[in-house]
Amino acid sequence: MMVYVASLTGLLIGSGYGYVSQQGAFCMNSGFRVAVTQRNMTKVKAYVLAIALQMVVVPLVFAAGLSSPTYPPLFPVGAVLGGLLFGASMHWAGGCAAGVWYKLGSGSLGALAAVLGMAIGAAALEVGPLVGFRASVQSAGPSIGNAPLEMLWPWGPLAGLLLIGMLWFAAPGHAGAWSWRRTGLAIGAVGILAWPLSSLAARDFGMAVVPGTVSLLTEPVRRLMSWDVLFVLGIPLGAFVAARRIGPVTTSKVSAMAASKRFAGGLGLGVGASLAAGCTVGHGLTGVPLLAPGSMLAIVSIFAGSAITSLWELRNG
């Protein structure tokens, strides 16, 4: 019973993430795209600030015994191929994995199509007919244990402080209703709280979108009270609250063609995230602050996939 009660903290963290994302228009689909096509780094700065804050504070959470580090795995081939696919698919889905969830809360039916596609795509590789394909891709290339990662720990807070110092002098700017500094600090704080709160539910990890998305599609109803499921359900809830503060939340119309495009993009998000063992949240906002090599490789690949797609679209209309 206590584990179920503790799992409710997932709803709290997810709602916080969704609220901040809606207020700060925090989505790495547009963040990476405008960084490449317009040299607008506003959302990327918020993303880096959220990572840097966690690099400084999360080790203190571990040192205090409030949680234990769990590193995202390194699958070199999976990280590159999955990251490239995920990055390219963000354009078609209209958001990253967390982005389509929070946009669902603001009334986007296109986001609903993307969420469904993402759940199906990831489930096919995690528990469905493509499990063997995922295993073969992820088994290719070298692997790395946790010992080398633990040697990097002293450098994490130092790197985080350096990044925060550099961002201190960066130009101000807004995305959505909030400044990038406010958004980055808030997302970072939510990410920090995710570790000790999820540990109460016997889950030592930070924020992640794909596990809960897959569980919604594959787990029986009695097991839908997990921390991961409640986290993803909390994202649209928090976004709805944020959007409702501005005015009525209306359902956006979407054509069949547009919905099909979003669904196909969602499939790509799910397949890519499964191959890479994470996304812009599980790797970027949870693994990168731990200096996990697999997360850093995956995020670079996601950015590359987004950049290639954005530049191709820019040059070909």
Virtual torsion, Cα 290, 208, 61, 226, nearest 10 deg = -150
Query: pLDDT tier at 62 (50, 70, 90 boundaries)?
Result: very high
Domains of the chain: which residue ranges? 2-316
Q: What is the pLDDT of residue 99?
A: 97
pLDDT band at 95 (very low <50, low <70, confident <90, very high): very high
Is 80 exceeded by the pLDDT of residue 106?
yes
pLDDT at 146: 55
* Residue 306 and residue 87 in contact, taking contact as beta carbons nearer than 8 Å: yes
* Separation CA 272–CA 125 (nearest Å): 10
Position 3 pLDDT exceeds 60: no
- Average pLDDT value over all residues in the chain: 92
| Residue 297 CA: distances (Å) to CA of 73, 150, 294 | 11, 18, 5
With contact defined as beta carbons under 8 Å apart, do 48 and 170 qualify? no
Residue 203 is predicted with a pLDDT of 92
Q: What pLDDT, on a 0 to 100 scale, did the predictor assign at position 152?
A: 67
**Residues whose CB falls within 8 Å of the CB of residue 130, separated by 6 or more in sequence, listed in order:** 124, 271
Longest Cα separation, the chain = 56
* More confident call, 93 vs 313: 93
- pLDDT confidence of residue 273: 98
Give 159-216 pLDDT, tens digit per residue.
Answer: 999 999 999 999 999 998 999 999 999 999 999 999 999 999 989 999 999 999 999 9
In the three-class reduction of DSSP (H, G, I as helix; E, B as strand; rest coil), residue 174 is classed as strand
Residues 98/31, Cβ–Cβ less than 8 Å: no
pLDDT confidence of 313, banded at 50, 70, 90?
confident
| 142 has a pLDDT exceeding 70 | yes
Q: What is residue 79's predicted lDDT score, i.e. its pLDDT?
A: 96
7 confidence band (pLDDT: 50, 70, 90): confident
Cα distances from 139 to residues 18, 54, 75, 210, in angstroms, run 34, 30, 7, 20
How far apart, in whole angstroms, are the C-alpha atoms of residue 297 and residue 288? 9
181: which residues sit within 8 A by CB, 6+ positions away? 45, 46, 49, 167, 172
pLDDT at 221: 63
For 4-13, what is the mean pLDDT?
A: 85
- The 10s digit of each residue's pLDDT in 227-260 is 999 999 999 999 999 999 887 778 888 899 999 9
Asked whether the beta carbons of 35 and 18 are under 8 A apart, the reply is no
pLDDT at 14 over 90: yes
Q: What percent of the chain has pLDDT over 70?
A: 93
Give the closest residue to 84 by CA, choosing from 273, 314, 284: 273
Q: Is the whole model's pTM more than 0.85, yes or no?
A: yes
Q: What pLDDT sits at residue 247? A: 78
Give me the mean pLDDT over the 286-299 stretch. Answer: 94
Fill in the amino acid letter for 267. L
Helical residues (DSSP H) of the chain, grouped into ranges: 2-24, 28-37, 42-63, 76-93, 97-105, 109-126, 131-139, 147-151, 155-168, 180-199, 210-218, 227-246, 256-276, 293-316
Give kind and range of the element (H or E) at residue 178: strand 178-179
Span 36-59, pLDDT tens digits? 999 999 999 999 999 999 999 999
The confidence band for 153, taking pLDDT boundaries of 50, 70 and 90, is low
pLDDT level of residue 286 (50, 70, 90 thresholds): very high
Q: Which pLDDT score, from 0 to 100, does residue 251 have?
A: 85
